[in-house]
Structures are given as C-alpha cells and as structure tokens.
Copies of this chain bind each other. A is one copy, B any other.
C-alpha cells in the first residue's frame, strides 16, 4: 500500500509508479488526473459472467437453480436469443461493469462474436467464451458447429487483439457427450485457449452425472483429459477434499460466484480449502439473472464474509486475499496475469480508482479492509482500460446512457408480453 504515489501511463501500459513529488518533477504528462482521498487498485476482473443476461435481470427471482432455468430463463432465451439481444444486453453489462470498476470480464454466452464486437466498440477488455452444447440453438447446430464457429468467428478473428482473448465455454458436463468433449479438448489444445465450464455447481448436477455416466463431473473431465491448467472451474461448490486436491494438482483455477450460489440455493463453495490446497480462486458475478448485479466489489465482500461461516473462522479470508481474488488471482485464472491484475510497470494500464471520502468508508484505519468491507460500487470514480479513460468521475465516456435505457426498456416490454401470452 503506497501513499501519495502516482502512476505514469504511456500508450496503453504502466510506465512507472513513483512518489507524487518525484512524479511532478519527472513527467510533463499530456493528461494529469488527480484524485486525493481515493485509492487506485488494479482494474477489477470479473472471472465469470453471462453479460447479455442483464436483459433478464429479475425476470424469475426466488426460484432454485433447476426451476429458474426451466421456468424462467430457457423459454425466454429460446424465443429471444439473437445477435440484437446479445449486443444490447452486453452493452448494458459493460456499462454496469465499468461503472463498478470492472475493466475485464470473462463471458460465456451465445453469439460470442457479437460480445467481442461490442467489447471492442466500447474499448472494454474481455475473454470471450464460445459456448458449446450438443443441442441446437439460434447460434449453432451441434457441438462441431459451435466449435468451428468459435474458432472462426471469435478465436481467429481476434487473434492478437489488444483487448480480446478467447476460451471455449462448454455449458456443463450434462450438456456434452464424451465425443464432443474430446473434440473440444483437441481444438482447445491446438489453439492453446482455456476451457471455462460450470462445474459441481449444484448437488443435482453431480447426481445427474453419476446416474448418466457413473462418474462425478470432475472425474469424467479428468478421464477425458480436460482436468489441467487450462481448466477454469466455475462455481465448484459441491467438491470433496480429494476433488479439491485433484483440481490443485492439475493446476486448474476456480471462478467463485458466491452470490449466485446463494441465490440459486446451491450452497457455499469451500474457498478456504481451495486456497489451502493451492488452487487459484478468481471472483465472478455470474449473470445478472442469478445475482442480480455485476458487482465485483460486492462479490469479494460476500466471499470474505461467507468464508468465515464456511470455515468457522472469523479470519478465514483476510481482506487482502479477497481483493486479490478480484485482481491478480482472477487474472491468473484467465491466464492473463502477465498482462493484467496488478499495478506494475510494463503491464497494461487497467486501473480503477475508488473514493473513500464517503460516510460509509470513514474513518480509514486500513484501506484494504475498507475496500473489501465498507465500500460500494458507486464509490468507483474512474476506470481505465489499456490507458483509456472509460469512466471519468462517474461518467462513462464511450457509452450513451439514454440509448441503453431506451433499448433495455424495449426488450423488457417484448419479453414481458411474451411471458404474459404464455401464461
């Protein structure tokens, strides 16, 4: 924790970190941003989200996971999933995330090429996950089709793009046959991209896997050659100690989504046990239909609080560890920690600035404790992605607020009409 320091940015990277007075003598910057009473942290990273689902926010609350999917989300997705919905929902999500200090998100949704396009248009950093399932949807026909579209429309098109990286994002072990997983593994190895999958989220998922294959999902993925350092296991709530050890020895990462796990009554992930075993844990908001906010600051607070009861220890996760889950450790789970996740010379200038001069954050004994336990997302004043100032004293610079609200209101009307007709 450095006080009275400055960060110098040149092009899209961090050039130097130095005491304020020294900075004033050394540099004549073209742009000077001063924020007394604030803290500057690495841009927050959202390791798991379905961005476009902001348009389904609050559509079907107070239901458990299976009912929520079957009665709430899937009928609406089947009717409305389209490039247009994905563009508008992703734009709303990016606006929400930037305003909350999130400068990079890892997404899993249909029409991933549209998610990528939207992120680039708004200068947002993203890891774009190509969804893979065996059943046809509005975007693709079968696993081979998802994989080839992902390869052509997302991976090849954005190779070496400064803002976009890619991964494959099979929905879950229930959604793919062994043959599809094998095909996916071969392609992921060939392209050297991570595999991002909902894994051991609910008890029913584990039970269904046992019934269908005689194996728990992690065991099955291991047999299929997918349990390795490219794997990002999303949720990982219902895992046994041997499974935690298996994830650790494979070098797999976990995307912890604590609010979503509570909301859908899935449970509490054993985060302290993951950390003890050496598993890297990043934080994720999950989609807005199961949270219902894309708010990484709220998630790390939730993670730090929940870990205490899960481990029966008031210090199960210290504030500093929680903050790392939203920054450097999240970057590691996305295999992007050489570029983002910390404020270091040479890394990309993804930065988030947070105002502590608020009633709820005063007085400040320990800035990290304050950030984790006594700060809300509205205190984020500024955010930069690759040095570009996307949030400037609370105002988004690449996004038209009225246009987003008009479009999300139109979607609300269309979706409400559809649901009323079905009833």
Contact = CB atoms under 8 A, between A and B. Distances in A.
A293 B262 contact: no
Interface string A50-76: 000011011101111101100000000
Nearest to A266: B309
Interface size class on chain A is 35 or more
Given A293-B374, A369-B58, A374-B58, A316 B265 contact: yes
A359 interface: yes
Given A295-B360, A357-B405, A376-B378, A416 B365 contact: yes
A139 interface: no
B264 A314 contact: yes
A241 interface: no
Given A259-B305, A267-B309, A292-B373, A315 B365 contact: no
B374 A265 contact: no
A58 to B, nearest CB: 4
A377 B374 contact: no
A360 B288 CA distance: 9
A58 B364 contact: yes
A318 B62 contact: yes
A312 interface: yes
Q: Most chain-B CB neighbours within 10 Å: which of A64, A291, A316, A374? A: A374
Interface string A296-326: 0010000011101101111111110000000
A412 B306 CA distance: 28
Contacts of A317: 62
A268 interface: yes
A246 interface: no
Contact of A315 (B63, B308, B409): B63
Interface of A: 54-55, 57-59, 61-65, 67-68, 92, 95-96, 99-100, 259, 261-268, 288, 291-295, 298, 304-306, 308-309, 311-319, 357, 359-360, 362-366, 369-370, 373-374, 376-379, 401, 404-405, 408-409, 411-412, 415-416
When A and B form their complex, which 7 residue pairs have the shortest distance between CB atoms, in order from nearest?
A64-B314, A378-B378, A363-B412, A96-B359, A262-B305, A265-B314, A62-B315
9 contacts: A59-B365, A62-B318, A64-B308, A263-B305, A264-B308, A265-B313, A265-B316, A293-B360, A293-B376
Given A265-B312, A295-B360, A365-B416, 7 more contacts: A61-B319, A62-B304, A64-B313, A92-B362, A100-B360, A293-B360, A295-B376
